[in-house]
Structure 1
Amino acid sequence: MNALQIRQFGAPETLELVTRAEPALGPGMALVRVEAASINPSDVKNVAGAMKQTTLPRIPGRDYAGVVEQGPAEWVGAEVWGSGGDAGFTRDGTHASHIEVPVASLRRKPERLGFAEAASVGVNFITAWSGIVEAAQVKAGETLLIIGAGGGVGGAAAQIAHHLGARIIGADRHAPRPDAPIHRLAAHQVIGAEDLPAAVRATTGGNGADAVFDTVGGVTFRTALGCLALRGRLIEISATGQREVTFNLADFYHNESRLLGVDSLKRDLTASARILEALAPGFEAGVYRPAPIAETVSLRQAREGYRKVADGIAGRVVITPNAGDAA
């Protein structure tokens, strides 16, 4: 099998293109031919050495879609999709022609999605679902503020919250793409106000947001906290710019606020599969749409794909590991 490999941490250029033997399957495992695998910002951070749990050498990559080649008879030939917070970190990941996965993690790919589209869902939608549905338990009629609304996770969050019947307000320091989900789903135009708490309260009759999904974190934490309505829930998934934050504890408890941390890396391939199973009907019905694909690259071109993700390309970069590559 052909694969990208991290032998030493560094820039995307340090990734090696290698040929390795296909894994010998153990009990309860399946072998999937990877037709498409997206590159996430966390994959770039992994290569750079930012993920302490990663052991080397390691094949990176979290999201994939492909065809089962070996495993239980009822699964062989099935088109599947998956993602996992263990893939690419503590077990070999998806940026390869094949991946070994637990049979328990296998889920059939929505027929409506092509392989590249299905491989662009994982991290974005699993993170959004974990924050909005599992952690904050956002309900119909509630107001959700999404900070970083123009990004991949923000776009997924907008779609899930809209499907739940929530009222959505988007905030982003950059103008989102015209086709970003936030433009079609937000109750208000995306807010880029200097005083975000005041702007949010002005659009909510002075109440604030029932829940704030902060996809940026760190530098936006105090701003996000200031946007909460009474008993509001703040979901944090990142710590951009600063890992330690301060806030007024008296204001926090007087408002009966809730602070919720969500880390998609804690959901391995099998746990992530359960979330994808819950999301699948929405994709089959066209309620949910993956982020637009900016570029498709081969394994040989994948280092440049990593570089573009590191530079903040809009849209998804997808690797097609079996598109004629040879290591």
Structure 2
Amino acid sequence: MTDAPLAATAAGSLPGHARALRFAAFGAPEMLAVEHLPLAPPGAGEALVAVHAASVNPSDVKNVAGRMRQTVPPRIPGRDFAGVVAAGPAEWLGAEVWGTGGDIGFTRDGSHAEYLRLPVAALSRKPAGLSFAQAGAVGVNYVTAWIGLDYAQLAPGETLLVIGATGGVGGAAAVIAAGRGARVIAACRGAAPADAPARRATGEFIDLAAEDLGARVAAMTGGKGVDVVYDCVGRPDLTEAALGALAFRGRLVAIAGTPGEQVRFELIPFYRRECRILGVDSLKRSAAECAPMMDALRAGFESGAYPPPAIAEAHPLADGARAFASVARGTRGRVVITMR
């Protein structure tokens, strides 16, 4: 692939129409269709990104299914993106950028298209060492992990337990925490794959399929417990065990759960240990609000402290519905849609 067409676009020759994956009504991935839509130049304070690659997240699949109340079809889905600025302020023209946001794909058209219109404040320069496909698969997982660790105020020398450490957010939380000087204990079902980001962060693992979470944490911490739990699973029995494993002034970050299920725990030891529960929903952050976090993440990818995402599948835009179906089936690794 060459950048010559993009250079011409940056010079001012935007096409009149561009392809986009769009759904006109909620439903299964089959509701998605590629359409040729009019393309207007960006307005004041905006930029137009020629998208090269954009991942498909579980929240994108839920969006098409109608589980996001803020979305009104017809809508182009897609939260994460990587591409080149094709129109906008002169200082950004031709820049390779990446990003994510809880507004794009939901309250405004998203990244599963050849072009994405954004506020200039949403632009962040892509790490040079990542391909467009890799960069387009970072946003949701790493931003969610970053927010949770900031909320918990994880400090160097503290111990973090990640439940669901082989998932996207769990792996991101593990490597970010290790980069901040924390001890990381990774909990997952079975053995973590060799390419799991959590293996970059720690050698301490708990097999949730074979070991008692609370007992193992007590043994690994000398009975002290952990300072922070990042719960990416939300299964009541695991969350209850994690709450019991919190040290004095411990914090639990929750990002997952199942509708109707309840977590039960005893309040007296919880408040006597001055513990806290923190909820995180990255959908509440717009692309402009996520851009500073993407800027902060860049150094970790450029230094190699954060491993590139493992791309399981890459589908051309014409096969976008298949990419959504793959994520709906639970494909391990990142699934991306490529535009160019």
Report the TM-score, using the length of structure 1 for normalisation. 0.94
Matched, 1:270 2:288: yes
**Of 218-227 and 232-241, the range deviating more from structure 2:** 218-227
Q: 1:216–1:240: 8 Å Cα contact kept in structure 2?
A: no
Distance 2:214 2:186 in 1: 12
Matched, 1:27 2:44: yes
Q: 1:4–1:17: 8 Å Cα contact kept in structure 2?
A: yes
Distance 1:183 1:285 in 2: 17
Q: 2:206–2:216: 8 Å Cα contact kept in structure 1?
A: no
Partner of 2:87: 70
Q: Secondary structure at the match of 1:256?
A: coil
Deviation at 1:264, TM superposition (A): 0.6
Q: List gaps (5 residues or longer) in structure 1.
A: 323-327
Q: List gaps (5 residues or longer) in structure 2.
A: 1-17
Partner of 2:130: 113
Distance 1:258 1:142 in 2: 16
Partner of 1:306: 324
Partner of 2:304: 286
Q: 1:230–1:257: 8 Å Cα contact kept in structure 2?
A: yes
Deviation at 1:179, TM superposition (A): 1.0
Distance 1:314 1:82 in 2: 22
Q: Secondary structure at the match of 1:42?
A: helix
Deviations 1:111-169 (A, max 9, x none): 1111111101100100011011x201111111100000001111111110110111111
Q: 1:138 aligns with which of 154, 166, 173?
A: 154
Matched, 1:147 2:163: yes
**Of 14-23 and 199-208, the range deviating more from structure 2:** 14-23
Matched, 1:157 2:173: yes
Distance 1:148 1:116 in 2: 24
Q: 1:123 aligns with which of 121, 140, 143?
A: 140
Q: 2:98–2:135: 8 Å Cα contact kept in structure 1?
A: yes
Q: 1:61 aligns with which of 78, 81, 87?
A: 78
Q: 1:218–1:241: 8 Å Cα contact kept in structure 2?
A: no
Q: 2:200 aligns with which of 184, 195, 204?
A: 184
The percent of aligned pairs where both chains have the same amino acid is 55
Distance 1:202 1:164 in 2: 24
Q: 2:190–2:207: 8 Å Cα contact kept in structure 1?
A: no
1:11-26, aligned counterparts within 5 Å? 11-26=28-43
Q: Secondary structure at the match of 1:300?
A: helix
Distance 1:190 1:315 in 2: 21
AA matched with 2:244? G
Distance 2:73 2:176 in 1: 36
Q: Secondary structure at the match of 1:281?
A: helix
Distance 2:312 2:230 in 1: 25
Report the TM-score, using the length of structure 2 for normalisation. 0.91
AA matched with 1:300? A
Deviation at 1:242, TM superposition (A): 4.1
Q: 1:249 aligns with which of 264, 267, 277?
A: 267
Distance 1:288 1:135 in 2: 20
Partner of 2:230: 213
Distance 1:233 1:288 in 2: 24
